Structure 1
């Protein structure tokens, strides 16, 4: 069985326009296997109780995992409970859409898993038990996350590079906020005001994965921000159909209907 990183690298080379022969020489994978991955997918999804990290298979529901990784790095934690681990993500009760999004992400990563909602004053803790959660989140360790250096594993970086907006979505809706930014510009001799959304989050962990994402800009050393106008090149009131379609796609990925401009998350 080919390791997950080798499969992902081969698929990326094919997606970049490489021929079967060139990719085969670069990766050492037969052309027949490459053709199979290209035409039918990189492999069967693991069983519900299986861990695709331990089995070195291609990550199931990569976009869901990138989103869940953002939630874990923000307001999540792992706790050992007897022979298993509990993944817990604390959510503000004022934003039920975020609770639903975290629940859906867990379901995408581990289909059929039981997900519980534990309610406390002002908070809903979304939790799920599984012995393999530490495999999926190797950043787990003793002490507080913001006091430790967080480094992505190689296979995690592959997933994040494919789904950067999903990771940002989890980060912004856990440790971040969304607000309206505005600017004034001279248009046809007249000053006009333009409003556009801005997302940002704060995290003090050295080497935080989001700081290396394309599309994320460092506003300060510990603050990453994304503005549709500057960072994604998507001015809210300019551009043709292609630009507007790209803006809609970015908005869809970053805002699943769980936050409001000017309010936290």
Structure 2
């Protein structure tokens, strides 16, 4: 048997996309061993093969449900899943560089939902892409499919609806922090003695997908938060009590 440190290093490199042959050279093991470990065929202390319990849907592993509700919101708002190898998928969450706190939050929530997986990031123009790799991304996010999300139906599975119903605030926070914002709206009111300006905070959520906008407004309805349709693809929350309610668990990006 190989030392545990060697196995863990090989799995980290594999999760980062290092080819099996190169991984084997780095770790000083056979390609066959790399493939066994990557498939979860590691042996226990008695030499008996055991399959790694990696997926809450396939293997019954515990799922950090509150973190998952937030990550689901991030994915539906500004996320993407792509196949990067034959059996491995990559979840990307795009985060503006203006909000370093959001970048850290995305990495932290991925680590909570996907323990044992390598979490990474790569730089793009004006944004940082936080990513994780797993064979089971389509299991965790069955909304994955060909093309952009607004070109296909987006419906939550029954088990996802249970999580979103229980952790609606986390789900709404993920949606707003990915595809929405809190801002100050300035309004000019012309009067006889001159223009008068007044300001008020509001939240907006903008998404091309009719289904994702409906998931957002349904969640607001469950929380008792008033909203209005601002235009074809934008939802506005501007009433003072509604903004105060969102401030309790969302707040400005940071």
Using the size of structure 1 for normalisation, the TM-score is: 0.62
2:235 and 2:167 map into 1 onto residues whose CA distance is: 17
Secondary structure at the residue paired with 1:50? coil
Q: Which residue of 2 aligns with 1:123?
A: 127
1:97 and 2:97 are equivalent in the alignment: no
Secondary structure at the residue paired with 1:86? strand
Q: Which residue of 2 aligns with 1:31?
A: none
Distance 1:226 1:119, change over 3 A: same
Q: How many residues align?
A: 187
Secondary structure at the residue paired with 1:142? coil
1:228 and 1:105 map into 2 onto residues whose CA distance is: 30
Q: Which residue of 2 aligns with 1:258?
A: 253
1:79 and 1:64 map into 2 onto residues whose CA distance is: 21
Larger Rg: 2
Q: Which residue of 2 aligns with 1:78?
A: 81
- After TM superposition, give the deviation of residue 211 of structure 1 in Å: 2.7
What whole-Å deviation, never above 9, does each CA across 1:165-217 have from its counterpart, x for those lacking one? 2112111121112112589xxxxxxxxx9965322111121322213212362
Q: Is the Cα contact below 8 Å between 1:196 and 1:228 reproduced in 2?
A: no
Distance 1:99 1:48, change over 3 A: farther
Distance 1:206 1:93, change over 3 A: same
Q: Which residue of 1 aligns with 2:235?
A: 224
Q: Which residue of 1 aligns with 2:193?
A: none
1:97 and 1:228 map into 2 onto residues whose CA distance is: 27
Q: Which residue of 1 aligns with 2:161?
A: 157
Structure 1 residue runs of 5 or longer lacking an equivalent are 1-46, 184-192, 235-246, 260-265
Secondary structure at the residue paired with 2:169? helix
Using the size of structure 2 for normalisation, the TM-score is: 0.65
RMSD, aligned CA = 2.7
1:62 and 2:68 are equivalent in the alignment: no
Q: Which residue of 2 aligns with 1:212?
A: 218
What whole-Å deviation, never above 9, does each CA across 1:92-126 have from its counterpart, x for those lacking one? 11211110010011011122321101112312110
Runs of 4+ in structure 1 deviating by more than 6 angstroms, as ranges, are none
Secondary structure at the residue paired with 2:237? strand
Q: Which residue of 2 aligns with 1:8?
A: none
Secondary structure at the residue paired with 1:253? coil
What whole-Å deviation, never above 9, does each CA across 1:9-56 have from its counterpart, x for those lacking one? xxxxxxxxxxxxxxxxxxxxxxxxxxxxxxxxxxxxxx9852112245
